[in-house]
Copies of this chain bind each other. A is one copy, B any other.
C-alpha cells in the first residue's frame, strides 16, 4: 500500500481514504462520494480493529461480510480495498499508541475508556500506510471525528479531514452496522433517538438556553416511548468538545446521546442551531 501510495503521488494523483469496519451501509457509501469529490484514487479500509474494543464488547460478533462489502464499494467507485488481517496490522506486540488526552475520556470515553486510544492508533497506522491527501469520516461518530481532527492538527499529519453528514433510514434512525443486532421491537423504538434530537433542536431553536431543561425533555420522550437505557445525553461546544449546560452565545451546540436497547448500544447526535442563528 505504501508503494502504491508513493506511485499515485508521483503521478500527481490525490489519494482519498475512507476508513471503515465494513458491513457497509449507505452511510459508508456516502463517504465514498465525498472522497471522490476531493481525490482521484479512492482507498477504502475494511478492518474491525481489535484494539478499539474492550473485553465484553462485541468484537467477536461484530457483523462482517467482505464479499458483499467489496461489491458495494467497487460499485460506488472505490479503487482499492485494504482489508488486512490482525497479523498484518499487529505483527508484533503493539506498544506504540496515539492518544488524544482529555477528549478521549469524555462521553463515549466514559463508557469505553480505551476505545478512542484504539481508534486514534489504528487511524494513525492507516494514514501512514495509505498516505492519503484526504480522509472522510462520518458525523455519526462525532466525537471520533473531532478526536481525529485534533490528532491530525497536533501531530501534523498532512491529511485533510472531511466529516460527512449522518445517513439515516427513512424513519430517521442513524445508519449503523450495529442496527442489525436490534429486535423488531427495539428497531421500532430506536427511532426515538432521532425524534429526541429533533425535539432538542426545536426547543433550542425557539430560544431555550438552559440545556438541563432540553435534556429533561429528551429523557422524558425516550423513557415514554422506549425501553432504551440512556448512557448519556450531553451537549458540547463543537469547537472544543467541552461539555456545556447553557447555549450562551454559541451559534450552535452539538447534542449527543447513547442509548442501549438490550445489548445493543446506539449513538446519535445533531447540531442544534441557537435561536436567531
Residues of A within 8 A of B (CB): 2, 6, 9-10, 12, 92, 94-103, 120-121, 124-125, 128-129, 131, 150-151, 153-158
* A128-B153 contact, Cβ under 8 Å, with A9-B10, A97-B99, A102-B95: no
CB distance from A122 to the nearest CB of B (A): 10
Hey, which chain B residues are within 8 Å of A94, CB to CB?
154
> Would B10 and A154 count as touching, CB distance under 8 A?
no
B9 and A124 within 8 A (CB): no
Chain B residues with CB below 8 A from A95, complex form: 100-103, 150, 154
Copies of this chain, how many?
2
Of all A-B residue pairs in the complex, the 6 with the closest CB atoms, nearest first, are A96-B154, A128-B156, A96-B151, A96-B100, A125-B156, A95-B101
- Known pairs A97-B98, A128-B158. 5 more at Cβ < 8 A? A94-B154, A95-B102, A96-B99, A96-B151, A125-B154
- Min CB distance, A41 to chain B, in Å? 16
Residues of B within 8 A of A100 (CB): 95-96
CB A52 to nearest CB in B, in angstroms, measures 15
Is B2 within 8 A of A158, CB to CB?
A: yes
Contacts of A150 in B (CB 8 A): 95-96
Residue in contact with A129 in the complex, picked from B6, B151, B154, B156, CB distance below 8 Å? B156
Taking A10-B10, A96-B151 as contacts, is the C-beta distance between A128 and B102 under 8 angstroms? no
- For A120, the chain B residues whose CB sits under 8 A away are 96
Q: How far is the CB of A235 from chain B (nearest CB, A)?
A: 20
CB closest residue in chain B, given A96: B154
Contact call A153/B92, Cβ cutoff below 8 A: yes
18 contacts between A and B (CB under 8 A): A9-B9, A10-B12, A95-B103, A95-B150, A95-B154, A96-B150, A96-B155, A97-B99, A97-B101, A97-B154, A98-B98, A98-B155, A99-B99, A121-B155, A125-B154, A128-B156, A128-B157, A131-B158
Nearest chain B residue, comparing its CB with the CB of A125: B156
Query: Can you name the residue of chain B whose Cβ is closest to the Cβ of A120?
Result: B96
B-side contacts of A125, CB under 8 Å: 154-156
Contacts of A124 in B (CB 8 A): 98, 155
A99 to chain B, nearest CB (A): 6
- Alpha-carbon distance between A182 and B214 when the two chains are bound, in angstroms: 65
Give A91's nearest chain B residue, CB to CB: B153
The CA-CA distance from A96 to B155 in the complex, in Å, is 7
Set of chain B residues within 8 Å of A9, measured between Cβ atoms:
6, 9-10
A131 to chain B, nearest CB (A): 7
| Cβ–Cβ < 8 Å partners of A12 in chain B | 10
Are the CB atoms of B101 and A98 closer together than 8 Å? no
